[in-house]
Structure 1
């Protein structure tokens, strides 16, 4: 354990003992108050010292992003031990003591460099509150531009035409495993090999099996059998009449329990939020999927309030990784990633506020795609993070991510977050790799290498293959102030979450909240207005810095996570856990996508020595979704031959086809 962590534990335990001693009797309260007063006097002195040594950021237009820049890469300096079980309960009790809470939060913010890099900095740029991007023409692959008046089903039809040319190629691919795709389901229905009703029956049986196994997979929070069968029967009738709504008709799609989807309550992974906020209608993205005939099969499990990266939920169970049931899935869209990885659905919806789509996608070996901020309507999504959260897609293949993206993209008038006009949706024509245009990849080597050896080796090999096979160019750059951006994002998402829930938290019985979520809410509430403004100034700086990089390159390439899926420990099952060191490693490459509203995609590229998936991420220019999907397809084409079947996998279409021929 790092010396800093031992120091933190010693400080915490010492303060707990002091508080217990002095609070044990009313006669002792006065000297205890004197102690706290003196402590805060010391804190004020420390604050003045910090102010005197505060970071002064040079203007963004003077920042050098070239490979030869003298900017220093600052690693995440997380000073907090892992806590779960009794320890996290003790910590929460201590943290929620009104008289000690401010001091402990002060220590946490100081020790983890929030004071140094955000709170007390000197910065020239004005705040930028919402990451809205003007549209600028940039190089795109061959694309199909969608007219603004197309229905969701018509947009899906356009997407299928972009990938139909690949189907004959895919049948001949020499691969040992691939997920069943949306078009596989559609062809099976059209050829009468099976029908949506039989698929629904298989799905329901598999969910029952996953709940009754020795280790519960905890895929879903809510799953309504009658509603699933109703949708499946309606879809089956449409196929019998020869009138399917789209390629998505009858295809099972899961929805993260942060998105409104009738007839389910929207819990946000909590035991209380649905009691104070009723779900009365579908979210816009869900409405669009319904218009395409998709079978919405339930609300997937998630990290409580999206306030963590592990996917461990003490209320609804810890979602298990299909590649190793003893490992985490990542969060917060844990269930959505797991159901796709396990073959229950070819695609699912998630919400990405700090990597919450891309992290679990990478850890579960599937594709995770997050569009530009504002591209997909946020109406009907829990308003936990207004300016950093975006609906995203988790899918078994890039082609399926494209189809679902085509269905849910485009703005509806009900989304009040976005007021500017956006460019038309463009879909890439997924041609054969031989016609792939040259792509220039920006790579910050020190950042790229800040991960485990297996991840670095796997992702570097993938880049070498891209250069060798497609002739893509990797250019070295410097991306300054990455750690400051991570902390500014954390401060922003925490402040927005607290603000969104403020009216409920005052009346809430905290016993209904998970222990790890209680810590998160306490920390979120510690940020003040000045810190929030400084965070938005840092956002403006990073906007300008990333624009400099995109002036030179098409995309930024990174590993998706700094670590692969780690072990779920028994002491975390009922309380959740505080593991900020692993959390920082999981979000290491996520922040620009959310804080700056940039599109990003992760694609599986290999496995570590333990057989756990590794993802490679591409961060694109604003509105460059078509380019990102094109790039992701090229990477998938290179790596698909090495894809491995998860240990937990429900092979529904194969089973149904075997039943028909038996």
Structure 2
């Protein structure tokens, strides 16, 4: 998940672009290692954005495939968690997907059917979304991609966020799963943030969890309807720049007791609830020299379409983003 739980004395993962900034959680180490040239690619887990958020903050490609496309062993009761690759190029991510995807009897949700064939790439119908709270620096970097999308003959429509905020349902589902997996005798070993979530999960009734699952179903139904109009939804992966390295969230969301620890990233978790494929592509830098990611979201099963569209956009942008002082040649 996206919370970083650290014991006293354990130092946070730092962003290779700015050592005083976070690499994102919880797969921040995987993204930072790729960005710093320590490896060509890595794997992360994404329960509410944990692959795509670090990818955006560290200036690499991160892909959350359709739910079940890569087996998750042991499976998670919340049915939100995905395994996903991170790399410096879409081609490397696609190569990893070719190896990782497929059924596994240990994960009953893993996909046994072959992926849907990719639709024609030109033109695609694209719904462009801006979430409330998007910073000017992030907006400027992502808006610069719009003319590139249209130059590729895609039809781009600016649309309002096409679904209600599902954050409450996400918290209830995650908290119930955390409470289920944490015995009371383990409480002294939990950090403050995790313990707040676990205690909240223990307070939830069966009816409350059922309401959260009903909200998940409604979101899936709503987005399935939206995806009848659009081949892709496109938006900033994260609406803000990376915050301080030793923080779990921006100041307004950092109090463990208010359960807002993921509310600052509203474009990530909805697509865990729906299981749709979502990829973060680096598209530029802010004036402070920090990376910005653009998220491409497709229909469930349209993983290859998302990868193909992202690779074509990556080529058209022609960006090579490497943190200052880092050499990635031969890695």
SS of residue paired to 1:327: strand
Query: How much has 1:461 moved relative to structure 2?
Result: 1.4
Distance 1:364 1:444 in 2: 22
Does 1:522 find its partner at 2:205? no
Paired residue for 2:156? 474
Structure 1: which 5+ runs fail to align? 1-305, 430-434, 655-662
- Residue 437 of structure 1 is aligned with which of 122, 132, 136? 122
Classify 1:480/1:471 alpha carbon distance in 2 versus 1 (closer, same or farther; 3 Å). Answer: closer
User: CA 1:376–1:453 in structure 2 vs 1: closer, same or farther (change >3 Å)?
Assistant: same
Q: In the alignment, what sits opposite 1:459?
A: 142
Structure 2 match to 1:162 = none
Q: Which residue number corresponds to residue 41 of structure 2?
A: 347
Paired residues of 2:23 and 2:245 also in contact (CA < 8 A): no
C-alpha distance in 1 between matches for 2:170 and 2:315: 34
The one of 399, 413, 437 aligned to 2:91: 399
Matched, 1:639 2:320: no
Alignment check: 8 A CA contact 1:605 1:635 kept: no
The CA deviation at 1:474 is 1.1
- Compared CA separation, residues 457 and 412, structure 1 to 2 (3 A): same
Give the 3-state SS of the residue equivalent to 2:71 in structure 1: coil
Equivalent of residue 326 in structure 1, options 17, 20, 42: 20
1:482 aligned counterpart, secondary structure: coil
Q: Deviations over 1:165-190 (max 9, x none)?
A: xxxxxxxxxxxxxxxxxxxxxxxxxx
Of residues 483, 498, 512, the one that matches 2:179 is: 498
Counterpart position of 2:167: 486
Taking the aligned partners of 2:201 and 2:23, their CA distance within structure 1 comes to 24
Partner of 1:94: none
1:498 alignment partner, SS class: helix
Give the CA deviation at 1:396.
1.0
Would the alpha carbon gap of residues 340 and 353 (structure 1) be closer, same or farther in structure 2, given more than 3 Å must change? same
Larger fraction in strand: 2
What TM-score do you get using the length of structure 1 for normalisation? 0.46
Q: State the shift of 1:477 in Å.
A: 3.5
Structure-2 change in CA distance of 1:583 and 1:413 (3 Å): closer
For the 8 Å contact 1:423–1:623, the answer to whether it is kept is no
How far the C-alpha of 1:471 sits from its partner, in A, is 1.6
- Do 1:322 and 1:648's aligned partners in 2 also have CA atoms closer than 8 Å? no
Equivalent of 2:62 in 362, 365, 368? 368
Q: Does 1:621 align with 2:299?
A: yes
1:595 is matched with: 273
Show CA shifts across 1:568-625 (max 9, x none): 35899xxxx637667422x210122100111110100011111010000011101001
Residues 380, 612 of structure 1: alpha-carbon distance in 2 compared, 3 angstrom cutoff: same
1:17-44 C-alpha deviation (Å, 9 max, x unpaired): xxxxxxxxxxxxxxxxxxxxxxxxxxxx
Deviations 1:1-58 (A, max 9, x none): xxxxxxxxxxxxxxxxxxxxxxxxxxxxxxxxxxxxxxxxxxxxxxxxxxxxxxxxxx
1:428 to 1:570, Cα distance in 2 relative to 1, 3 A: closer
Deviation string, structure 1 residues 479-499 (Cα, Å, up to 9, x no partner) = 45432x121112112212221
Change in 2 beyond 3 A, CA 1:645/1:538: same
Per the TM alignment, residue 312 of structure 1 is displaced from its structure 2 partner at its CA by 6.5
What's the secondary structure of 1:537's corresponding residue?
Answer: helix
Is this contact kept in 2: 1:479–1:545, CA < 8 A? no
Q: Distance in 1 between matches of 2:73 and 2:247?
A: 37
User: Which SS does the other structure have where 2:323 is aligned?
Assistant: coil
RMSD: 2.6
Q: CA deviation at 1:519?
A: 2.2
Counting matched residue pairs gives: 324
Q: Offset of 1:415 from its aligned partner?
A: 1.5
Equivalent runs, 1:116-265 vs 2, <5 Å: none
Give the distance between the partners of 1:537 and 1:581, measured in 2 at CA.
21
The Cα of 1:332 is off from its aligned counterpart by 1.2
Question: Helix, strand or coil for the counterpart of 1:363?
Answer: helix
State the SS of the aligned residue for 1:507.
helix
| Distance of 1:426 and 1:399 partners within structure 2 | 19
User: Whose RCO is larger (CA < 8 A, sep 6+)?
Assistant: 2
Q: 1:514 to 1:427 in 2, by over 3 A?
A: farther
SS of 2:292 mapped into structure 1: strand
Deviation of 1:403 (Å): 0.7
CA contact (8 A) 2:279 2:295 kept: yes
Question: C-alpha distance in 2, partners of 1:323/1:427?
Answer: 37
Would the alpha carbon gap of residues 635 and 524 (structure 1) be closer, same or farther in structure 2, given more than 3 Å must change? farther
User: Whose helix proportion is higher, 1 or 2?
Assistant: 1
